[in-house]
Structure 1
Amino acid sequence: MTSTILFVDDEPDLEALILQKFRRQIRDGLVTIIFARDGLEALESLEQNPHVDMVVSDINMPRMDGLSLLAKLQEAEDKKSTIIVSAYGDMSNIRTAMNRGAFDFLTKPIDFVDLETTIQKTIRHIEMLREVRRRQAEAERAHASLSRFFSPEIARRLAVGGEGDGMAVQWRNVATIFTDITGFTSLVESALPETLGELLNEYVGGMTEIVFAHEGTVAKIIGDAIQILFNAPGDQPDYATRAIACAHDLDLWAEDFRARWKDRGVNFGTTRIGAHAGPALVGNFGGNRFFDYTAYGDTINTAARLEAANKHLGTRICVSASIAEGAGKFQGRPVGELVLRGRSEPLRAFEPLPPAKFEQPATTQYSAAFARMEAGDAAAMPAFAALVGMHADDPLAGFHLKRLLNGAKGIRMQLE
């Protein structure tokens, strides 16, 4: 790689002497040398030759001296590595030069062996800086790409660590959340394009910010649906707790969003949320030319089906026992044993509740009615009837009452 050096000196015979001493390096393409007679000419030359790698400057020159030139060079965004040449023993100028950012200094009369050694040292320093800047630029580009999927802190770590820091495909235990919006297809068909664009961008942006606040990973966004991962790519021992907290915040934000848009005359659907925990195949499945960090496996499919189960249950959040049992101090109420589409074994499910709702008497009343239903007690039906009578806005209690009225028994139910 050719290094370009700007020599700044008003001595008339210096140019010929430098060209003679560096003729071999110039011939071999190792260096290119240009000259200026004072600081002002040097600044003009740098404007015309921004690729200059280093400056070797005398101090005593007409119009603009070397120390003034050095100060100007340090003000520039692209600071040039500068070697200052001073008369032997002029320590005051040398100290000023070093304080102003000079990389090194030489004394006159110039020892050309010393000059060549100093230039080589400076070139190595410049190459090191170039490599640091190149890596920083790569990391910034990687961070910009990864920030679409990961929280800022995880994106920063992955941008520095690369494939070896959780990007390769691997089996690992995860918590996964699926969200979807009721009636979204109808909204797409009826809304104006500009309204739909604003609506969906605000919705996805807000939901993503909540995921990132809980340090979750956005694995997929398909239209209105969002898939979220915890404990991937990095380790999060409390991943089940994070998933529950994230689900609550997503629900709260989505309901507020829906109310705001309703005030603007847009009927935005309810956001349904399903969550499950277990092993999944996680990593970048995009090959060498496309980045697609996502997860596959039965755990992922189950979370998606729990999201869909909300439609039948009347709930907005439905989570599996694996999430509820893994979360610290889980607060919620049992839904029942769900036989989900495509599965033969039942899955025990729960509806997480925020603390204020969990502590209400209605939750205790629901738990007592559910326990009777689980035991096959005939008193379950009047218990749910009493609950619905006092809380007609409780769709899960209404769901169970309807089941019992239709002759169902127990807590196992088949969902299509």
Structure 2
Amino acid sequence: MPKILVADDEADLEVLIKQKFRRQIRDKKYEFYFALNGMEALTILENNPDITILLSDINMPELDGLSLLSKLSESSSLVKTVMVSAYGDMENIRTAMNRGAFDFVCKPVNFEDLELTIEKTIQHVNQIKNTLQAIKENNILRMYVDETVLNFMSRQDVETTLLANETVEATVVFLDICSFTSFAEKEPADKVVKLLNRYFEVMVKEIIAQNGHVDKFMGDAIMAVFRDDFHLDRAVEASLAVRKEIDELPSTSDDQNFSPKVAIGIKSGEVISGNIGSASLRRLDYTVIGDVVNTAQRLQTRAKASQILIDDHAYEQIRQSFNCKIVGEAALKNKKTPILIYEVLS
């Protein structure tokens, strides 16, 4: 129900409005508030932030209508003001409009015209509310949905585009917080979530610093993807920075005395990039899939605390830039032959 504030020092206007709009008030179509001057109007607006329409006279004691308009503009109020005044000359109308008035109604008041003006103002306010809600929802959506998906959603060929995919060169990194699951089983949920989010913030900061993309959070692990020039080098740099930052975090001050460490697996090569899921359910996850993703995850599973593991293919590409040591051959799940594993030291 729209809430309307009437600011006018003529007390009989309140009586007239209550008479002329008695049916709308009875049906709870409108709810009116009344003030005898601008200062009183500001107080009512402050105490009732859900008032969206102001009907204001110009000539009022203490604070006139034009000054009231200026006050509302300074506070960035979403209240829309309709001036209702006998001072209907062009100078006053222009001044009111320049100070943010939505419309102007001259006295003596034609109440049919006033109701049409109120309805028009309500529609405008609702449009603003819908726009703000859409912006809010869009900002929330950006917390959960990849930017590429949002760009797709703004295009006309949504159904076709959402299911498009491509093969690209990328580096996939899995970063897991070691032993966090066993720690979480013995701690209150609120503490576990806060601590995990704290660790994730540290890790995400370093991933973004190297122009990486956080593909998803998986329990107490992160899957990150690096694309474009020198994607493998940037992935290794980010992994070293994450390890350093996590190793320097203090232990928890409780009985378990948990000290965070990360185990990291890195694999570079061709991946399939696209929206994976069900279009009919409208549940799609913009992600990468393929052998590179599977291998990176399995390397992370083999990694010990504070260890960064890569395969021989990645080693050959970065050995001139990073200090690595051989770990040995290992048989990974669903791999026909063992692969040679290296540890990135620095």
Q: TM-score w.r.t. structure 2 length?
A: 0.68
AA paired with 1:129?
I
Partner of 2:52 in structure 1? 53
Q: Give the share of equivalent positions with the same residue, in percent.
A: 34
Change beyond 3 A, Cα 1:284–1:25: farther
Partner of 1:8 in structure 2? 7
Partner of 1:65 in structure 2? 64
Matched position secondary structure for 1:208: helix
Does the alignment pair 1:340 with 2:332? Answer: yes
Change beyond 3 A, Cα 1:33–1:199: closer
Q: How many residues align?
A: 328
Matched position secondary structure for 1:59: coil
Task: After TM superposition, list the pairs within 5 Å mapping 1:238-249 onto structure 2.
Answer: 238=228, 241-249=230-238
Partner of 1:99 in structure 2? 98
The structure richer in strand per residue is: 2
Matched position secondary structure for 1:55: strand
AA paired with 2:267?
A
The structure richer in helix per residue is: 1
Is the Cα contact below 8 Å between 1:280 and 1:300 reproduced in 2? no
Change beyond 3 A, Cα 1:166–1:39: farther
Any gaps of 5 or more consecutive residues in structure 2? 252-257
Matched position secondary structure for 1:82: strand
Partner of 2:299 in structure 1? 306
Return the alpha-carbon distance in structure 2 between the equivalents of residues 19 and 185 of structure 1: 69
The RMSD of aligned alpha carbons is 5.1
Q: TM-score w.r.t. structure 1 length?
A: 0.58
Cα shift at 1:255:
4.2
Is the Cα contact below 8 Å between 1:280 and 1:299 reproduced in 2? no
Is the Cα contact below 8 Å between 1:277 and 1:320 reproduced in 2? no
Residue by residue over 1:246-293, the C-alpha shift from the partner in whole angstroms, topping out at 9 and shown as x without a partner, is: 22232245247547879xxx997685432244446876879x9x9988
Residue by residue over 1:28-65, the C-alpha shift from the partner in whole angstroms, topping out at 9 and shown as x without a partner, is: 43323333332233334334543322111111123332
Cα shift at 1:106:
2.2
Cα shift at 1:130:
0.9
Return the alpha-carbon distance in structure 2 between the equivalents of residues 269 and 61 of structure 1: 68
Task: After TM superposition, list the pairs within 5 Å mapping 1:189-268 onto structure 2.
Answer: 204-213=200-209, 214-223=211-220, 225-230=221-226, 238=228, 241-255=230-244, 258=247
Matched position secondary structure for 2:230: helix
Partner of 1:275 in structure 2? 267
Cα shift at 1:129:
0.9
Task: After TM superposition, list the pairs within 5 Å mapping 1:2-401 onto structure 2.
Answer: 2-76=1-75, 78-143=77-142, 145-146=143-144, 154=147, 173=167, 175-180=171-176, 184-185=178-179, 204-213=200-209, 214-223=211-220, 225-230=221-226, 238=228, 241-255=230-244, 258=247, 271-279=263-271, 298-307=291-300, 316-319=308-311, 321=313, 340-345=332-337
AA paired with 1:340?
L
Is the Cα contact below 8 Å between 1:331 and 1:353 reproduced in 2? no
Change beyond 3 A, Cα 1:309–1:353: same
Any gaps of 5 or more consecutive residues in structure 1? 231-235, 355-416
Is the Cα contact below 8 Å between 1:318 and 1:351 reproduced in 2? yes
Cα shift at 1:344:
0.9
Return the alpha-carbon distance in structure 2 between the equivalents of residues 257 and 48 of structure 1: 48
